Amino acid sequence: MSITIAMDIGGTHMRAAVFHENENQPSDIKRIRTYVDGKTSVDRLINLIEDVTPQGETIQAIGIAVPGPMDPKKGVILAAPNLKEWTGIPLQATIETHFGVRTRLGNDANMAAVGEWRYGAGQGHHHVIYLTISTGVGGGVICHDQLLLGEQGIGAELGHVTILSDGPMCSCGQRGHIEAISSGTGIANYVAEQLQAGRASSLTGKPDAKAISHAAKQGDALAIEAFNRAGYYLGLGIANYLMIFNPSIVILGGGVSETGDLIMNPIRETVEKSVLSKHFLQNLTITRAALGDNAGLYGALALARDSVTFA
């Protein structure tokens, strides 16, 4: 029998999953640390694939979700802060040559969007916006059943758009991006600033987004305000994406979305108030992601199985 290998490479771990033909549940997933003694290599990735492949099985195709902006036509990572060693190397070609099978690479946020679309919350939709809100804010867009990539394959940077000109500084060095305000980092920065300014709160020091969500659920006013603020700007951003893409579903993944109503309520409220006309809300679903940490793996599976076309 033949199998498909789907991989997700992160700054901390790399995972490889085995999918048998016509099966949407992996028969095995193996995970190793990306770095050992401060080093990583493509050889370790190749070993992981060999390790996860059952004896006697033939690999049909390999799909890999990789961090950072990448060139999906060449299968080369253009920039990955967590994986500097792999920037610019011919990753796709190396693996393709080693195993002698079709290998395709995709940006991890795009692959998570594809995973949710093909196997998760977005099944059956033709126009999908996916946002992952965690340390940063990443995104992916399905536009009439095609993955939006753009001329060089580096589009859909949905977190790095200005929503509040001259707003807070973003990780990328620009100001007022959605990521700068509504990511876990943005939420933590806001609370730290407010605490430093002397605001009363059960929180102290420099709490992270998780601690802030706990405090909010205990009724801490500053913590609740921090999530309302993040949700408000995310809602404005999502309203923008409704105007731009007119999707039928918006899927929210990542740790911040997992706080549930705390972030979803202000998002929904703002979106409803901020659209150009009621048409944009008709038959629109705004929902949380269904596949959790496996969204990228599933996207890599769809990519390997060749059920993704690029726009």
Q: Does 222 bind its own copies (CB under 8 A)?
A: no
Q: Does 127 bind its own copies (CB under 8 A)?
A: yes
Q: Select 76 or 297, whichever has its Cβ closest to its own copies.
A: 76
Long-range contacts of 42-51 (CB under 8 A, 24+ apart): 42/86, 42/89, 42/91, 42/94, 42/95, 44/14, 45/7, 45/9, 45/14, 45/95, 46/95, 46/98, 46/99, 48/7, 48/14, 48/16, 49/5, 49/7, 49/16, 49/95, 49/99, 51/16
Q: Does 151 bind its own copies (CB under 8 A)?
A: yes
Q: Does 199 bind its own copies (CB under 8 A)?
A: no
Q: Does 218 bind its own copies (CB under 8 A)?
A: no
The gap from C-alpha 84 to its chain's centroid, in whole angstroms, comes to 19
Min dist. Cβ of residue 196 to its own copies (A): 23
Q: Select 26 or 266, whichever has its Cβ closest to its own copies.
A: 266
Q: Which of 236, 252, 297, 303 binds its own copies (CB under 8 A)?
A: 236
Q: Kindly state the number of chain residues that form the binding site for its own copies, as judged by CB under 8 A.
A: 49
Can you read off the two tokens belonging to residue 265? 């309520």
Q: Does 276 bind its own copies (CB under 8 A)?
A: yes
Min dist. Cβ of residue 192 to its own copies (A): 21
Q: Does 126 bind its own copies (CB under 8 A)?
A: yes
- DSSP, res 170: P
Q: Which residues of 181-192 are buried (b: 16+ CB within 10 A; e: fewer)?
A: bbbbbbbbbbbb
Q: What is the DSSP string of 54-91?
A: PTT-EEEEEEEEESS-EETTTTEES--TT-GGGBTS-H
Q: Which of 158, 234, 252, 301 binds its own copies (CB under 8 A)?
A: 158
CB 24 within 8 A of CB 35: no
Q: Does 172 bind its own copies (CB under 8 A)?
A: yes
Give the interface segment with its own copies, choosing from 3-11, 91-99, 208-216, 246-254 (CB under 8 A): 246-254
CB 13 within 8 A of CB 32: yes
Q: Does 80 bind its own copies (CB under 8 A)?
A: no
Applying CB under 8 A, which residues contact its own copies? 69, 78-79, 126-127, 141, 143-144, 146, 148-158, 160-165, 167, 172, 174, 233, 236-237, 239-240, 243-248, 274, 276-277, 279-280, 282-283, 310-311
